Amino acid sequence: MSENIVIAGPGGLGKHVLDALLTSNRFKVAVFSRSQKPELEEKGAAVKVVDYNDVPSLRAAIKSIQADTLLSFIVDLKNPDAMARSHRNLLEAAVLEGIKRFVPAEYANNVVRFPVPPSSEADKLHFREHAARVCRAHDVEYTIICNGIIMDFFLPRRKKKYIADLPPEFPNILPVYAEADAPRVMVLRAPEDRISMTLADDIAKGVVRLLLQPYGSWDEITYLSGDRVSWEEAAEILGRILDRKVETRYVSLDDLKQEVREAHGSHDPMRIECAELYEAFGNGSEVLPANTICFEGMETKKFEQVMREHYGKGND
């Protein structure tokens, strides 16, 4: 099992994982951050201020805490080139300091069947291939965690634990929009449409389980679905909870692909990003295989339970 953990990039999902690791009392946990994080130190994590452009300083930080496992949550979609350099530098430093385990910042769809990410995250594929080569060459155990849609994005604005609200320019991007004056669900017609979705706290719980597994037991791809719900079922569940009509709009996969083509023709970055996200929600990429065996028996919250907790009567 892992013992000394480094979390790089303690953002939304990273904070969920940090809480779960500290609560377990099974690990020593350090956080790498570009700035001081006294609130994380108060929780019990050692915070190391690092420069992701400086490999020697990253090596020194890793060595100082005798880290054996690196969990990356570095995300900077506004500066993808800088994010790409940070990922590569961090992995280089970790390998040179003898890290035994590595989990990259993916946490998303079925990367086996749908390896090409949205254009705004184009480097993910390149880094995924690079990390695989580096880890295999240096006998570093690694895995990509595929958890489908992070369910927290469906929660009310300003009600999420750590996951950030989508920017104001993205009010209608999610297929499930329960906060609208007229609640709606975009029913995206995928060939296989039981969508995998997982609450961030359950992803964190799964990471703890994964780290407790013995060395040599990880697969290169780890699957974790907290629930599997079709968009039609999501609309029916939401209507029941809200006790009102939920608008449903049916969109074919051909229409989603056409919108992607037209978006790229417009050269509008926002339109492109929205179109590619909708295609991912509807093309089957969020449909995952059975959960990895180490998660057997682990309780996770279901979509209906989460929606009822946040949108049911008494939660206005």
**Shared-domain flag, residues 256 and 236:** yes
Find the DSSP H helices in the chain. 12-24, 38-43, 55-64, 80-96, 123-137, 200-211, 231-242, 253-266, 269-282, 303-311
What number of other Cβ atoms are within 10 A of residue 296's Cβ? 9
CATH of the domain at 169: 3.90.25
The three-state secondary structure class of 180 is coil
pLDDT tens digit string along 48-102? 999 999 999 999 999 999 999 999 998 876 777 778 889 999 999 999 999 999 9
**Shared-domain flag, residues 235 and 302:** yes
Q: Of 101, 121, 142, which one is at a domain's C-terminal end? A: 142
Domain presence at residue 201: no
pLDDT tens digit string along 1-39? 778 999 998 889 999 999 999 999 999 999 999 888 999
Domain presence at residue 118: yes
Under DSSP, the state recorded for 312 is: S
Count: domains in the chain = 2
CATH of the domain at 99: 3.40.50.720
Question: Confidence band (pLDDT; 50, 70, 90) for 104?
Answer: very high
Q: What percent of the chain has pLDDT over 70?
A: 96
**Shared-domain flag, residues 187 and 305:** yes
Q: Of 116, 142, 168, which one is at a domain's C-terminal end? A: 142
Q: What is the pLDDT of residue 169?
A: 64
**Shared-domain flag, residues 176 and 94:** no
**Shared-domain flag, residues 267 and 169:** yes
**Shared-domain flag, residues 126 and 238:** no
Q: Are the C-beta atoms of residues 48 and 62 closer than 8 Å to each other?
A: no
**Shared-domain flag, residues 168 and 278:** yes
Integer Cα distance of 80 and 86 in angstroms: 10
Domain presence at residue 202: no
pLDDT tens digit string along 236-282? 999 999 999 898 888 888 999 999 999 999 988 878 888 888 888 88
Q: Are the C-beta atoms of residues 259 and 278 closer than 8 Å to each other?
A: yes
Under DSSP, the state recorded for 283 is: S
- The single residue listed with the structure tokens 């590569």 is 88
- The single residue listed with the structure tokens 């430093």 is 93
The highest-confidence range among 154-158, 167-171, 203-207, 257-261, by mean pLDDT, is: 203-207
Q: What is the pLDDT of residue 189?
A: 66
Domain presence at residue 206: no
**Shared-domain flag, residues 282 and 240:** yes
Q: What is the pLDDT of residue 316?
A: 57
Helix axes 123-137, 80-96, angle to 10 degrees: 10
- The single residue listed with the structure tokens 């184009």 is 122
Q: What is the mean pLDDT of residues 171-190?
A: 80
Q: Of 99, 116, 142, which one is at a domain's C-terminal end? A: 142
192 has a pLDDT exceeding 60: no
Nearest C-alpha neighbor of 226 from the set 193, 204, 198, 207 = 198
Integer Cα distance of 55 and 126 in angstroms: 20
How long is the chain? 316
Name the residue range of residue 284's domain. 151-196+226-311
**Shared-domain flag, residues 133 and 159:** no
